[in-house]
Amino acid sequence: MPKGGLTTRNRHDKNTAYCLSHQRGCTTAVRNLDYGGVMSSKLALFAGLGFIVSTVPLAAHHSFEAEYDFNKPLKITGTVTKVEWMNPHARFYVDVKGADGKVTNWNFELGPINTLLKQGWRKTSLKEGDEVTVEGYLAKDGDNLGNARKVTLPDGRRVLGGSSADNPANQ
C-alpha cells in the first residue's frame, strides 16, 4: 500500500478516493473523481439513441398480409404521375380514368430497392407521363392503394414489382 497520495476506498468504488497520508499536507479527506460517471452517461445516451434509431425502420416496415389482401387482385392501366424511389419500398402513383370519365389516383407499393435492382429496375424505369399496366393486390382498407406484383412498362416489358406477395411464406 502506498504511503501517500490518493487511492480508492476499495476496488469496486472507483469514483471516491481518500488521502492516505496527512503528514505530506493532504488536507482533503475525500475527493470525488467523477470521470467514470461522465463517460458512462455518454455511453448510455449513445446506446439509447442507437436503440431508438435501429427500431424506427422495424416499426415502419410491415408484412404483406398486414396491409394487402390476396383475395383482392387488381389489374389497371393508367398514367404515372409520381415515382418515389426510396426505402423501405419504392412507390409510384397512377391516374386511372374510370368508365364515367372520373380520374382516380392510385398509390402502388413496389418491393425494396435492392430487390428491384436485382430484377432489372432502374431509377428511370418509370417516369411521369408513362402509360403502364399494373397487376397486384388491393389494400385491405379499401383505399386506392395496391401492392404491385407485375408492371408492364411503356416499351412492353413486363417486370416484377418485387412484391412480398411473391414470397412463398406469405401464401
* pLDDT digits 0-9 by tens, 67-94: 788 899 999 999 999 999 988 889 999 9
Residue 135's pLDDT is what?
A: 96
What percentage of the chain reaches a pLDDT higher than 70?
Answer: 56
Q: In 3-state terms, the chain is what percent helix, strand and coil (to 5)?
A: 25, 35, 40
pLDDT at 151 over 50: yes
Residue 95's pLDDT is what?
A: 98
Q: What is the band of 152 on the pLDDT scale with cuts at 50, 70, 90?
A: very high
Distance of CA 64 to the CA centre of its chain: 16
Whole-angstrom distance, CA of residue 140 vs CA of residue 16: 62
Residue 94's pLDDT is what?
A: 98
Whole-angstrom distance, CA of residue 108 vs CA of residue 95: 11
Whole-angstrom distance, CA of residue 40 vs CA of residue 33: 13
pLDDT digits (tens, 9 = 90+) for 102-136: 999 999 999 889 989 988 888 888 999 999 999 99
Distances, alpha carbon 33 to alpha carbons 13, 45, 103, 140, in Å: 10, 21, 71, 60
**Which top CATH class is 64-170?**
mainly beta
Amino acid identity at 133: T
Tell how strand 145-152 and strand 103-109 pair up: parallel
Residue 137's pLDDT is what?
A: 94
Whole-angstrom distance, CA of residue 129 vs CA of residue 132: 9
Residue 162's pLDDT is what?
A: 77
Whole-angstrom distance, CA of residue 122 vs CA of residue 109: 16
Whole-angstrom distance, CA of residue 149 vs CA of residue 163: 5
| Cβ contacts of 166 within 8 Å, gap of 6 or more | 149, 160
pTM, full prediction: 0.59
Tell how strand 68-84 and strand 103-109 pair up: unpaired
Domain limits of the chain? 6-60, 64-170
pLDDT at 33 over 70: no
Rounded to the nearest 10 degrees, how much is the dihedral formed by the CA atoms of 137, 140, 146, 149? -30
